[in-house]
Amino acid sequence: MPIFHFNFQKTKNLKYLYAIRLVRELANQLMVFFLPIYFFNLRLPLVNNLNLSALQEGIFSVVLFYITTFLVCFFLAIPTSKVLIKHGIRYGLLLGHLFYAIFVLFLYFSKDNPQLVLAAAIINGFQINFFWNSYHYSISRNSAKTKIGTNLGLISFLLNLLAMIAPALGGLIIVTLGYQTLFLLGLLVILCGVLFSLLLDNVKVRDKISFQEFWTWLKEPSFRRLALSFSGRYFNDASISLWTLYMFILLGSTDGGGYFYSLSLFLALFISYGAGSFIDQNKGRKQFFLSGGFLSIFWLLRGFVVNIWTITILNAMDKITASFHWLFFDRSWLMRGKGREALSYFVYREMIYSLAAIVFWLAVALIFYFFVAAWKSLFVAAALGVLLTLLIREKKEEEF
């Protein structure tokens, strides 16, 4: 198997989707990687009068941003999906990029006017719905069942390549030129995504999406199990964003966190590509359960890191294991979306993510308000989240 075999399966849309995802991830790794640190240091006005400690004020600023984002994301998921049904998937990707650009502009001006962070959070809710529902629908539709793992493996390989470089570059830009320069660079990257979106075929979708159907789906045991696995995935992903903040507090610098995060991805780079092909050919769940168990243990160990080298070693071990675990997870839930009600499935998944996010960030606020060992408690929650992802199934009828 050649390592750099780009399999576009005779569809131009797939290569443009790869490009869109890479552009998106480059912007995310440059900016979003550091957003918890930015909000932590910015200290939103709404939390200044709550008689909190300095740590609590910073954490509550982060919490306020994400809760606002996902409240908007949940309640606008269905209205935005109706726009996709009416105008097509390409339209959704374009709007996703444009709202992302506006989001970054609000962040750019928020240094002098912190209240704009809440406006940015609202815009962020729009862009999440438009972009991710359109992207997931497109990647599922354009990937053959027998190649979806390989495609995800290739994407993961390229994303890890970006993630090796972008956080270190972003940290360097912040230290030397400031967040505003970083946001402007991110804005230019996002606009490249608009160009790739214009090259896609505009696929029209026939689907009916409603809150009533969402609650009906949630009454099905198989979908509730799927919802729990999605929630666990969000708990892990959100905890990773706070892990960045934890490294910043522990190391005392922004560029240091970026450098060592980039270094820890080096060993996982090539594993991610090979894992995708392996998953397509070997669908056993033993490796998936084993990798999930190790990832949970790694989260628990994060509460005991004390210096740069323990952080680097733990990050490297985590990324190597995660290269397999999340590819298996993503392949499974994307396979579930290859059906007649595909857009409904991805929209309802985003709604579940939003509900999980609201629960998670409320829990973070309570943990840091009431618990002395707040970070360790957070890492325990992340470990439990990883264990919930083991509930994922490729088929609705599949049992434990």
Structural domains in the chain plus CATH codes: 12-391 (1.20.1250.20)
Token readout for 109 is 């001006």
Q: Are 351 and 77 in contact (CB under 8 A)?
A: yes
Cα atoms in the Cβ-side hemisphere of radius 13 Å centred on 246: 22
Left if phi > 0, otherwise alpha if psi is -120 to 50, otherwise beta: which for 9? left
pLDDT tens for residues 229-271? 999 999 999 998 898 888 888 776 555 444 555 555 655 555 5
Note the Cα 85 to chain centre separation in Å: 24
Q: Is the dihedral of CA 183, 160, 99, 46 positive or negative?
A: negative
Token match 């999340």: residue? 326
Other beta carbons less than 10 A from residue 328's beta carbon: 26
- Alpha-carbon distance of 93 to 400, in angstroms, equals 36
CA-CA distances (angstroms) from residue 191 to 27, 74, 215? Answer: 10, 26, 37
pLDDT tens for residues 98-149? 999 999 999 999 988 888 999 999 999 999 999 999 999 988 888 766 666 6
- Alpha-carbon distance of 148 to 131, in angstroms, equals 20
Cα atoms in the Cβ-side hemisphere of radius 13 Å centred on 284: 6
> Tell me, what's the pLDDT at 139?
86
> Tell me, what's the pLDDT at 274?
53
- Alpha-carbon distance of 214 to 355, in angstroms, equals 13
- Alpha-carbon distance of 132 to 122, in angstroms, equals 16
> pTM for the full model?
0.87
> Tell me, what's the pLDDT at 85?
92
Residues 6+ apart with CB under 8 A from 256: 171, 247, 308
pLDDT tens-place values along the chain, 400 residues long: 334 444 444 467 888 888 898 889 888 888 887 889 899 988 777 777 778 888 899 999 999 999 999 999 999 999 999 999 999 999 999 999 999 999 999 999 998 888 899 999 999 999 999 999 999 998 888 876 666 666 676 777 777 777 677 777 887 888 888 888 989 998 999 988 898 999 888 888 888 899 999 999 999 998 999 999 999 999 999 998 898 888 888 776 555 444 555 555 655 555 555 555 555 555 557 888 988 998 999 999 988 876 777 777 787 778 778 877 888 888 888 887 776 778 999 999 999 999 999 999 999 999 999 887 899 999 999 999 999 999 987 666 554 3
Q: Is the dihedral of CA 44, 254, 109, 63 positive or negative?
A: negative
> Tell me, what's the pLDDT at 270?
55
Left if phi > 0, otherwise alpha if psi is -120 to 50, otherwise beta: which for 338? beta
Q: Are 265 and 160 in contact (CB under 8 A)?
A: yes
> Tell me, what's the pLDDT at 1?
38
- Alpha-carbon distance of 289 to 392, in angstroms, equals 11
Cα atoms in the Cβ-side hemisphere of radius 13 Å centred on 67: 14
Q: Are 262 and 34 in contact (CB under 8 A)?
A: no
